[in-house]
Structure 1
Amino acid sequence: MKTISKRRQARPARLTPREAAQYETPVIRQRVAEMAAFFGIENWFYKNVTELSGGQKQLLNLASVMAMQPSVLILDEPTSQLDPIAASDFLATLGRINRELGTTILLTEHRLEDAFPLATRVAVMEEGKLLCSGTPAEVGTALRASGHTMFLAMPTAMRVWAAVEQEGICPVTVREGRDWLTAYSVEHPPCPLPPEPSRVYPDGAVLEASELWFKYEKDSPDVVRELNLTLKRGEFYALMGGNGAGKSTSLKLLAGLLKPYRGTVTHQGTIGVLPQNPQTLFVKKQFRKIWRRS
């Protein structure tokens, strides 16, 4: 690990007030306008940052960094707190930056389904050491041959290929996996899928929402409109939607953390909430202090 001296402390590539003073106002405005058009966020200029969703804030951070026109962009798990749709859009934007602007990107990421196809070279680390490196296909083949558990995180196309055969070039993208599977099925006709198991839940709702409407400001547009939801005991629901669709707001309404201006929420028993940012629940620096008081 390289040590950085205090005199040359590394810092993100963004404009500080002192650095901004080195550029003329027209130059700053031109760079901001170019990045806003590139990211498609021109209509955000007069928005309050608190009105943006988590994915939009992360995209705004990326645009502010790119206004400095860096030659190398380093990102440390930038999608860790984003929903799958926002994460996929964010990684797709990184791929576009690499292709169209020629920016070198160094990315650490756990969402390999989207990140792997974008990479030209992959390095896998374990316990501070380099385990293997190469193209995505080479790394996938090496992890599969060694039986390493990291292979379970590889894209679906790679895992399907490894479960069927271990010869030829390992597919990485969905298109490559489809082409390989189409050729493979010519000599190996697929079998019908077994029926999916069905479950029966007891009558009676543990949580019920009826005609929920909510907005954050009096004159702002509605974030949630006519939400109706009934949850039975033992059910496992997945609430899905695009970036800024109102998923987090809806969960806060169901948990009682926000109050709708129209509609009702009823529930049986208690409700446990785990927010998107786990740091929200840490109210003390040490667990011991909370344990002693309880």
Structure 2
Amino acid sequence: MIATALRVHDTPVLETLPLWQPAERPVQEPPTRARSRERDAPGGLAVTVRDLSKAFDGHTVIENLDLHIPAGQFVAVVGRSGCGKSTLLRLILGLEQPSSGRVVLESEGVRPPPKRIMFQEPRLLPWAHVADNVAVGLGETGTKAERRARALTALGEVGLADKAGQWPATLSGGQRQRVALARALVSRPGLLALDEPLGALDALTRIGMQAMIEEIWQAQGFTALLVTHDVAEAVALADRILVVEDGRIALDVKVEVPRPRRRGDPILAALEGRILDHLLQTHAPA
């Protein structure tokens, strides 16, 4: 569970013996381009929210919200600061308890796949090698050899197989975020929540990360829930965009543009303009 993965951040050591050991021969990075959906991918979790409300100290942040996200859909949530985007994300993940209403997660398998979250900050363990940081996402699952193998596979998927034995401090900001993405993916989640994960990156690195997230999502089939202030990012990545205002869903817009999407596409630009116009007009001064 998510709590298992995050709880390790509070412990003084990762393991007495590190997972990472130099490989006898170079690890081959598995290709990610133009992959079909993986055969062993567990599939996505369907999300159903009914009459959901959340208040903090008497202040209502989410109010009587209803929502259904089919398994495998990529949904982006946008809105102004303080509108309830991140609170909705945390309620769906079970990191916050609702004041009323309910959240139901459903999967086709007998054992539902895990949920994972990726934050704006990488939150890597500075005393652990890159491979050990990725293995944190497995909790206590598997033997040492199995955990190392799965960590290396996840690093290959984000293009960092050759960085497995390095320390986080030696990586660039974009590389650290890719390690955080690998950590979120290593357990093969059914729901991947992305809470402004690319906000601190430069423009070109951000575009590259967007393409990588989209590609891995297409290959693995998990349900993706992205919270972002960047409407252009939402339009580029999502099947569907939710505009949240005052704790409610004000707009629910489908993005019916084939993938791969081209930046500057007039249909995407028009959709971005429509959402921005709504946000600006709603809060325009009287």
| TM-score, with structure 1 as normaliser | 0.43
Which one has a bigger Cα radius of gyration? 1
Greater fraction strand: 2
Q: With a CA cutoff of 8 Å and minimum separation of 6, indicate the structure with the bigger relative contact order.
A: 2
Greater fraction helix: 1
